[in-house]
Amino acid sequence: MNILLASTSTLFGGKYLEYLKDELIDLYTGIDEILFIPFARPSGISHEDYTAIAKSFFAAININVKGLNEFDDKINAVNNAKAYFTGGGNTFLLVKTLHEENLMQVLKENIKNGKPYLGCSAGANIGGLNMKTTNDMPIVYPPSFDCLALIPFNINPHYLDPNPDLKHNGESRETRIIEFLTQNDITVIGLREGNWIRRKGNEIKVEGAVQTRIFKKGTAPYEIEVGTHLK
Amino acid sequence: MNILLASTSTLFGGKYLEYLKDELIDLYTGIDEILFIPFARPSGISHEDYTAIAKSFFAAININVKGLNEFDDKINAVNNAKAYFTGGGNTFLLVKTLHEENLMQVLKENIKNGKPYLGCSAGANIGGLNMKTTNDMPIVYPPSFDCLALIPFNINPHYLDPNPDLKHNGESRETRIIEFLTQNDITVIGLREGNWIRRKGNEIKVEGAVQTRIFKKGTAPYEIEVGTHLK
């Protein structure tokens, strides 16, 4: 496999995908066209407008982008594509659409056979075993929470440390993940913004700018450094 | 109907349910025992431990508390109860358990027939039409997102304004609710901590300490004052 799962598409104050540019040139070596999966629709943006944003970034590194929404036969489009990119937005909407269009399994098979995959935020979330550690609001009801399982873990993108100054009693991210572990025995990668997971073949590493927080059932959460192998 | 749906059980720096004490004496007038629904399990606490917390508060206002978990025949326990309280925690776990135990409908009928109901946080969320505006993590997969529909709206508890100082690109609460409205035509009550919805008969009001933010499809979000009737 050759995949990159990023916490976010855009760093605070940065431009879309800019901080990942060198990594994406490496990920998509030899590829001149990728298939964009726009179903997560951040802020409700249309599939067409969302694809145009991706197209604009990738033009600068000489890669053409087609939106999966442009194809009548979407299963065929996934099978014929050379590489993929799933953008962020609402994970429930993304997962519902992929299941309803029977695309989850076919996408998974193509990626497991070696086609490059980039996922940001919701698009990274679906690289995990299931979507049960998303931060998103359940605005639609998907037929299943199962995802691509490109890594044997779950991801919590945009991982955020508790803010001791916040005078608010909503649960912290850590509390939510600990609640997840009372119901599931799956390792969760708390992926802070600026970090990503890079899988090449069987090697899985965390890369980026800061430490990554790991949550396992029966163990206190702990931090790992950039470059650490995940097992 | 005679219901109170509160954004939170506990104000920052306050004690459990303390800020609602006078309201609860009014809600439960003439009631000496309530049935506590502990299924949301905040931080994974056991049903028994959670019931003990509720019991301890209500002892001070001379109301006994029984946990729904104590009953083998839970449908019968709901039908025999005089009043209800559903505590906060994880809404997915709460809704999954209520549906799986066939309790959602029976609880709804009893409350619609006039038995007092208190819900805090997740327990308030289920008073709405469905749970699609919860903030919680989807740690389990419920058979449906439908809820009690005690009011003709959805609730977003712990409503939080965007923080302009936060250097983080996760979606704001407002963005999430606007995404919800692209997929659903249901009014959402953004209920800040310190506020609650009070329904007596057909009269539904927001009460509490601060303004409440209202989200409707096709309209800019707006604020309403304490005491405003909801229609």
Average pLDDT, integer, range B9-29: 95
Q: For the sheet containing A154-159, what is the strand order? A: A154-159, A188-192, A212-215, A222-224
Instruction: Give A1-40 pLDDT, tens digit per residue.
Output: 999 999 999 998 899 999 999 999 999 999 999 999 999 9
Residue A169 has pLDDT above 70, yes or no: no
Of B26, B92, B12, B107, the closest CA to residue B61 belongs to B26
Q: Is B185 on the interface with A (CB under 8 A)?
A: no
Instruction: Give the CA distances from residue B169 to residues A121, A196, B173, in Å, rounded to whole numbers and listed in that order.
Output: 10, 15, 12
Domains of chain B listed by start with CATH number: 2-224 (3.40.50.880)
pLDDT digits (tens, 9 = 90+) for B210-220: 999 999 999 99
Q: Which residue has the higher pLDDT, A54 or B161?
A: A54
Least confident of A48-57, A91-100, A155-164: A155-164
Among chain B residues, the shortest Cα distance to A166 is held by B12
- Residues of B designated as active site: 121, 136, 158
Mean pLDDT of chain B: 96
Cα separation, A190 vs A177, whole angstroms:
9
Residue A47 tokens, joined? 């599939």
- Whether B75 and B43 have beta carbons less than 8 Å apart is answered as no
**A168, pLDDT greater than 70:** no
pLDDT in tens, B131-169: 999 999 999 999 999 999 999 999 999 999 887 777 666
Contact across the interface for A93 and B158, Cβ inside 8 Å: no
- CA dist list (Å): A128 to A198, B45, B50, B169: 13, 27, 32, 21
Average pLDDT over every residue of B191-213:
97
- Provide, as residue numbers in chain A, all residues whose Cβ is less than 8 Å from the Cβ of B186: none
Q: How far is A191 from chain B (nearest CA, A)?
A: 12
For residue B165, what pLDDT is reported? 73
In sequence order, the 6+-apart residues with CB closer than 8 A to the CB of B58 are B34, B64, B65
* ipTM above threshold 0.90: yes
**Tokens read off for B44:** 């994974």
The confidence band for A172, taking pLDDT boundaries of 50, 70 and 90, is confident
